[in-house]
Structure 1
């Protein structure tokens, strides 16, 4: 074990995890002290059953249960092995990529074992169950001591969100992870008295580093809910915050939108304890957050608790965020902010200041012909560097420790605003247009927050590209007649100068695809939407 991890694991702890169900009832409690014991025992049993599971080996972790997952993750830490968390539904699709990453062992909870052996042919598969990971595989073994590990060795391989293609493998060292957890704790103001709640998948950076590992690192109580419970009933998230007086929780913008339009009863909620409501992973929309504040202000939610953040997997998670208690601050886009990119969103949101001591460094570099239109502003691709940022040679755009994010940013003074994803910016008749802007224009015309919108470009037989917009609701069939269709097309043409084609899908099967963190996956959506012929509006 690296000395950075060793100092954290060996420090006596008094708190623990609390697993919740959809009704915010306690399903299981696991103290951090007990977790460390389970992990040491698990490491010993893994080593006995599979001797090559040692320092430097890559162990794929496949779990639905977040507490079993974190115990298996810490077992890898004790072994000095490299953990590679993967969502169960992704194993078969990513099998070749996992093998290419050097996977020598798959550890999974017992219920998921059927099918994994076939999916990961040639790789050993072992089951993990509760506090005795491998049953009687290593009776009498009390636990392993920490394996030596350099702070620059690979402790964890994280899969990127895959918004613009297949997920990349991001190699993180103990230094990257520990540094980012310290930055998060300091920026959010976490202490042992904090109460953190998370429901995001533990296979993605925001769920793993933001709400699952952060409570362990600061020794505060960590409430853990399951993603499927939020999907079935968004208000279950806020019910947990209310019941346990949670101080920190957060999610992508879509989660706040889902709560704002959930018809459930809210009068029994009390959100006055919630003083850090972080929001990130996708464009922060002030209109959505405004609806959330309007609805939940009556039950104690303070708009100043909102904290827009910016991060990426190559920095473990967090890069920068608004100051605690500042709320949402934005600048209008009415007269244009970046020459050459048309923005129809009413404003862009500040995600924090750059150059603050102890934080990840941020700078901009020129992105093609894109330039800021306001004197004193700077526009370009966001670059990041610092102890949290991976130095893997596999990360495209690395330059002397700086990593290119692929995001178009604007600097006004020292304040950073994220304008668009550069790979989402397409050329239409010589103009640069962001697909995210098309999404927002269509959504504003629909005036129905329950409808998911995703635009993408696709090649035409003649060699040119067409811009498509997919519409889908979770539960009801969308009524989009020719009149509404014409109005949507006219709005996009008037605001952005783009002619679009509309496709409206029933709730099932799912056509609009999101990543584990809630971002739109335009590549997968395009493949799903063009899979079979369907009427075009």
Structure 2
């Protein structure tokens, strides 16, 4: 059963802001470790006590105040680690609005950062001394020195914290802007107040039944809501420690995540569904033998569709490690609602519901006992306290009947104030009213679902958003990249969508050829795959080139993505050429080339040996025939995505005892050029 709740008057011991909360923690447990960062993902610890976090935050705040930044927006560009935490709280301590963002690591990432700077009207950017030159170089135009001031927070004057002045803020003050994973050109900043953050913190604490004895383990990126609100602010509110490792540490070697839970006896940890899939597929029996997961009582799963098969396979695979299936904690949330919207009852097996697909296509929920023509949905649990969830018709904005699918609308103290400087979109998304009852205002989530005995089930998206491995991808961004990838492709005639393959969402691109164009199909498909991999770091599962004028469109000329998807699944597209990535393992000889062997050979012998080794690794990781991997063909032309790049990096680094970066794989490198670089 969900724990009972009284009125939530005890928010953070009557603290009205996050500044009050950190001050409280610094006072009542000054020397207790608040955060531990594993630099190598395993053993190299950097720790931060509540007192030290408070001191560093005040130092940064004092510097910001001396620069006249009170009330301004500050962009936070940090690598994984503890520097970000001090900078984030430093902004709050100064009365500055924090704007967390992922630091660009190549030119492809910079447009989003530039768009955020412009939208937030940021006055200053905070970063580290090491990262500053790279970030400024990548941002390019005018080096942003005329637009932004820059502050490296790891090189402040000693003792500056003594000049800090408490800011004039209260519970309704804007704390930070959480930029959503929106279209590249139009990122939207959700305005979250101290009240929003504290309300979500207290209900999450009670819903997940946390205690001072809890321990959080997180690899989630802190510039996203799940990583920041869940992995940083929840442990701070609860006064229990959090062990952090970087997303790349996890992606390179998923074993590190579960090893951290085992070693530190973590109680709460999780991520999107794909994280559990990675552990199932990548952690060996020998590694499982070293794990003790008996302490793990909240294994949350959210941010993308939750698969029943994944839950079953993970529970079976890691039962020998002490993992209990009732530890699974499916949940639902979004940045616009701070984070958590619903969650299951702790220590109960997740409830699943099998529904008839035909009825579902008509937005009706009819329970089914048949295996065929049915779909299984995993419950995302019950609404958090002091919140109302309604299921509404997306078009006419009236309440749906029971057993009817509609858009999920939410009213809660956790719902943000709206989108920064976007009045019309705020009115549309955050201020919805039911036309039949006049109830509101509600947040329109854009997600479709239904309620069953008080439990929320998510069935899909009202719009065409693609969610793969927890990443939100906007189809219009993918389509623009695709149609520009080759001159034989027709503009405005592309559809990108996701399909489920082996319990995983995969990207499909259907693209019309230009009239009278007669290109080499393989050449066009390779160019399209490479462009999407380099621009978006995602692998295209299937590319279908079709005859001009045959893609489904509305009478006004808009692409009908859902109709195109239906035609793809029914094999009814008028295809000229196509390529679908193999999902089965390709037989490639396992070659563990050692660095000592390379060094012992003459250059004319080592180069071809290394090239062959790299070709074998690419073929193995991407499940493609070895003969298709040519020595001078760019890795990105195979549709290499960031997850596969991490796996490839890990294989080569471990065998050759060298260091390469994931960015190298998206910079046009081939087996030959990488071999030359290594040698």
TM-score (normalised: structure 1): 0.79
Would you say 1:234 and 2:274 are equivalent positions? no
Q: Is the 8 A contact 2:93 2:166 kept in 1?
A: yes
Would you say 1:123 and 2:150 are equivalent positions? no
Q: Which residue number corresponds to residue 398 of structure 1?
A: 430
Q: Which residue number corresponds to residue 219 of structure 2?
A: 199
Shift in Å, 1:195:
0.4
Q: Which residue number corresponds to residue 407 of structure 2?
A: 381
Q: Which residue number corresponds to residue 350 of structure 1?
A: 379
Specify whether residues 368 and 339 from structure 1 end up closer, same or farther in structure 2 by C-alpha distance, changes over 3 A only.
farther
Give the Cα–Cα distance (whole angstroms) in 1 for the partners of residues 540 and 21 of structure 2: 51
Give the Cα–Cα distance (whole angstroms) in 1 for the partners of residues 33 and 249 of structure 2: 24
Would you say 1:439 and 2:499 are equivalent positions? yes
Give the Cα–Cα distance (whole angstroms) in 1 for the partners of residues 204 and 93 of structure 2: 24
Give the Cα–Cα distance (whole angstroms) in 2 for the partners of residues 111 and 369 of structure 1: 53
Query: For 1:14-33, what aligned pairs fall within 5 Å after superposition?
Result: 14-22=32-40, 24-33=42-51
Q: Is the 8 A contact 1:378 1:412 kept in 2?
A: no
Q: Which residue number corresponds to residue 279 of structure 1?
A: 301
Specify whether residues 140 and 291 from structure 1 end up closer, same or farther in structure 2 by C-alpha distance, changes over 3 A only.
closer
Would you say 1:455 and 2:515 are equivalent positions? no
Shift in Å, 1:268:
0.9
Specify whether residues 478 and 215 from structure 1 end up closer, same or farther in structure 2 by C-alpha distance, changes over 3 A only.
closer
Shift in Å, 1:158:
0.6
Give the Cα–Cα distance (whole angstroms) in 2 for the partners of residues 411 and 314 of structure 1: 20
Would you say 1:331 and 2:353 are equivalent positions? yes
Shift in Å, 1:97:
3.1
Which one of 119, 135, 154 corresponds to residue 156 of structure 2? 135
Which one of 183, 187, 202 corresponds to residue 182 of structure 1? 202
Structure with the bigger percentage of strand: 1
Q: Which residue number corresponds to residue 533 of structure 1?
A: none
Shift in Å, 1:512:
7.5
Secondary structure at the aligned position of 1:145 is classed as coil
Give the Cα–Cα distance (whole angstroms) in 1 for the partners of residues 317 and 417 of structure 2: 44
Specify whether residues 318 and 460 from structure 1 end up closer, same or farther in structure 2 by C-alpha distance, changes over 3 A only.
farther
Give the Cα–Cα distance (whole angstroms) in 2 for the partners of residues 514 and 360 of structure 1: 37
Structure with the bigger percentage of helix: 2
Which one of 451, 460, 475 corresponds to residue 411 of structure 1? 451
- Taking only aligned residues, the RMSD between alpha carbons, in angstroms, comes to 3.8
Specify whether residues 189 and 479 from structure 1 end up closer, same or farther in structure 2 by C-alpha distance, changes over 3 A only.
closer
Shift in Å, 1:412:
1.9
Query: For 1:55-94, what aligned pairs fall within 5 Å after superposition?
Result: 56-89=71-104, 90-94=109-113
Specify whether residues 126 and 97 from structure 1 end up closer, same or farther in structure 2 by C-alpha distance, changes over 3 A only.
closer
Specify whether residues 7 and 97 from structure 1 end up closer, same or farther in structure 2 by C-alpha distance, changes over 3 A only.
closer
Query: For 1:358-377, what aligned pairs fall within 5 Å after superposition?
Result: 358-368=385-395, 376-377=402-403
Cα deviation, 1:316-359, whole Å, max 9, x if unaligned, reads 111111111123211113454534369977301110123x5x25
Give the Cα–Cα distance (whole angstroms) in 2 for the partners of residues 514 and 180 of structure 1: 32
Q: Quick one: higher RCO (CA 8 Å, sep 6+), 1 or 2?
A: 1
Higher deviation after alignment, 276-285 or 406-415: 406-415
Specify whether residues 342 and 379 from structure 1 end up closer, same or farther in structure 2 by C-alpha distance, changes over 3 A only.
closer
Cα deviation, 1:447-490, whole Å, max 9, x if unaligned, reads xx7xx72135656768xxxxx998999xxx9999x9xxxxxxxx
Secondary structure at the aligned position of 1:351 is classed as coil
Give the Cα–Cα distance (whole angstroms) in 2 for the partners of residues 20 and 26 of structure 1: 5
Specify whether residues 6 and 39 from structure 1 end up closer, same or farther in structure 2 by C-alpha distance, changes over 3 A only.
closer
Q: Is the 8 A contact 1:18 1:26 kept in 2?
A: no
Count of residue pairs brought into register by the alignment: 475
Q: Is the 8 A contact 1:197 1:249 kept in 2?
A: yes
Give the Cα–Cα distance (whole angstroms) in 2 for the partners of residues 413 and 514 of structure 1: 40
Q: Which residue number corresponds to residue 370 of structure 2?
A: none
Higher deviation after alignment, 242-251 or 325-334: 325-334
Secondary structure at the aligned position of 2:258 is classed as helix
Give the Cα–Cα distance (whole angstroms) in 1 for the partners of residues 568 and 115 of structure 2: 43
Q: Which residue number corresponds to residue 487 of structure 1?
A: none
Q: Is the 8 A contact 2:391 2:399 kept in 1?
A: no
Unaligned runs of 5+ in 1: 427-433, 463-467, 483-491, 516-537
Q: Is the 8 A contact 2:179 2:188 kept in 1?
A: yes
Q: Is the 8 A contact 1:328 1:349 kept in 2?
A: yes
Give the Cα–Cα distance (whole angstroms) in 2 for the partners of residues 303 and 43 of structure 1: 45
Give the Cα–Cα distance (whole angstroms) in 2 for the partners of residues 84 and 22 of structure 1: 27
Higher deviation after alignment, 164-173 or 400-409: 164-173
Q: Which residue number corresponds to residue 7 of structure 1?
A: 20
Q: Is the 8 A contact 1:371 1:378 kept in 2?
A: no
Q: Is the 8 A contact 2:507 2:541 kept in 1?
A: no
Q: Which residue number corresponds to residue 338 of structure 2?
A: 316
Give the Cα–Cα distance (whole angstroms) in 2 for the partners of residues 88 and 275 of structure 1: 33
Shift in Å, 1:3:
3.4
Q: Which residue number corresponds to residue 106 of structure 1?
A: 125
Q: Is the 8 A contact 1:391 1:401 kept in 2?
A: no
Higher deviation after alignment, 497-506 or 378-387: 497-506
Specify whether residues 185 and 140 from structure 1 end up closer, same or farther in structure 2 by C-alpha distance, changes over 3 A only.
closer
TM-score (normalised: structure 2): 0.63
Secondary structure at the aligned position of 2:216 is classed as strand
Specify whether residues 290 and 435 from structure 1 end up closer, same or farther in structure 2 by C-alpha distance, changes over 3 A only.
farther
Q: Is the 8 A contact 1:309 1:318 kept in 2?
A: yes
